[in-house]
Structure 1
Amino acid sequence: MQDHPWLRKLVLYREAVLTEAGLAPAIPAERASVAAVISNPWLGTGPREDLSPAVSELAPRLAKLVTDRLLQALGGVERIEAFGKAALVGSAGEIEHGGALIHTPYFGNLVREFLGGESIICFADARTDAGQPLVVPLWHKSHAATRSHYQTVDVRIPDAPRADEIVVVAAASTGPRPHPRIGDRTTDPVITSQTLEGVLS
């Protein structure tokens, strides 16, 4: 990656759910994540450091890099139904360094656009040692209240993030959880403690 000297490696994870509870799902779904392991551009700076110059330079490139590979892995934007994002910061950095790369329009808006979504993107972030796992939540890219698409992807890179690195992740799914059957917010009854008085007593 000569155009990205700050990039150490890319990690692609992909899975296809073929059967669940002994039965093939009505809508077989694939899930994937792409993780970019980069050097932390703010290493050694203090808590008053303005992060925005590096954000505007780096975050859009990361958004394009990870979503391009996510689209390749899952067969194109029209197949993707759910998405999520994440950042893991090495122990020498601040949790804000990860947030700077995934929580600004320079990343989030572009990931949403490239993956054809409308919803706010759910996320996870953490400061961690190399090899620690992170659970990345996903939800529907256009209808966040669609409960069938609430699912997760596990991300773990054995040698990352090193203390001076950040891992930036985009994840997606081509469909819902296997055999979704817990209803949806649009059809839920109105539930309060008063309506459940007999259950709660």
Structure 2
Amino acid sequence: MQEIATNAPRIDLRKLVTYRDVVVTEAGARPDRPAHRASVAAVVRNPWLGTPPRTDLSREQARVAPVLAGLLTDRLIAALGGADRIEAFGKAAIVGTGGEIEHAGALIHTPFFGDLVREFLEGESIICFADARAEAGEDLVVPLWHKTRAATRSHYQTVTARVSDAPRADEIVVIAAASTGPRPHPRIGDRTTDSAVTSENLERVLT
């Protein structure tokens, strides 16, 4: 990862922002497993700014996305104490008002980003995501789920990410987020053990 990160100047990186929190109490009680959550955001110049809507995005994806994957996961691992401690992950991107929403997706919905993030964080699940176009300083809620067992509802949670002065109109903010455990006091079951619910059997229960 460090080798990838040394290429940061080539991607027009302006800044990196790390956010970390831990819930100490919830509903007046301490969680059995307090989860540490973190997000890391990279602010880069939009490499497709001013290009027409039919422009092929693949070349810049291959150049920029792997560097971002290395930069963000390096810092996420450091913030949460190691890849082995991370249990849930997610990704997101915000494009500035001068770009297309497709430009945001182009940097995170690609093997050059997603496959590397999954590898570096020792995951197997598809990475859940959010993308948007916004003014500088707007929040984006990043969804997370379990990095190896996506059906595990206890790890369905979110991290709110924000960079106060980004994205500018010509920028994209790319975010990776993770948690070391479940939501506080999880108790809504699991998709792998739930009974099947259909409109037919639900009608029988309610009548």
Report the TM-score when normalising by structure 2.
0.94
- C-alpha separation between the residues in 2 aligned to 1:186 and 1:99? 30
Say yes or no: does 1:167 pair with 2:153: no
Within 5 Å, give how 1:1-201 maps onto structure 2.
Answer: 3-5=7-9, 6-197=12-203
CA displacement at 1:4 relative to structure 2: 2.4
> Residues 46 and 200 (structure 1 numbering): CA distance in 2 closer, same or farther, change over 3 Å?
farther
The CA distance in 2 between the partners of 1:46 and 1:60, in whole Å, is 24
Give 3-state SS (helix, strand or coil) of 1:194's partner: helix
Does the C-alpha gap of structure 1 residues 192 and 41 become closer, same or farther in structure 2, counting only changes over 3 Å?
Answer: same
Divergent runs of 4+, >6 A: none
* Unmatched segments (≥5 aa) in structure 1: none
How far, CA to CA, are the matches of 1:99 and 1:196 in structure 2?
38
Q: Is the 8 A contact 2:7 2:67 kept in 1?
A: no
Question: How much does 1:41 deviate?
Answer: 0.6
Q: Secondary structure at the match of 2:199?
A: coil
Instruction: Please state whether the residue corresponding to 1:179 is helix, strand or coil.
Output: coil
Determine the C-alpha separation between the residues in 2 that align with 1:33 and 1:62. 13
Deviation at 1:36, TM superposition (A): 0.0
Distance in 2 (alpha carbons) for counterparts of 1:4 and 1:112: 20
For the aligned residue pairs, the C-alpha RMSD in angstroms reads 1.3
Q: Secondary structure at the match of 1:162?
A: coil
Q: How does the TM-score come out when normalised to structure 1?
A: 0.97
Measure how far apart 1:185 and its partner are: 1.2
What amino acid does structure 1 have at the position aligned with 2:113?
A: F
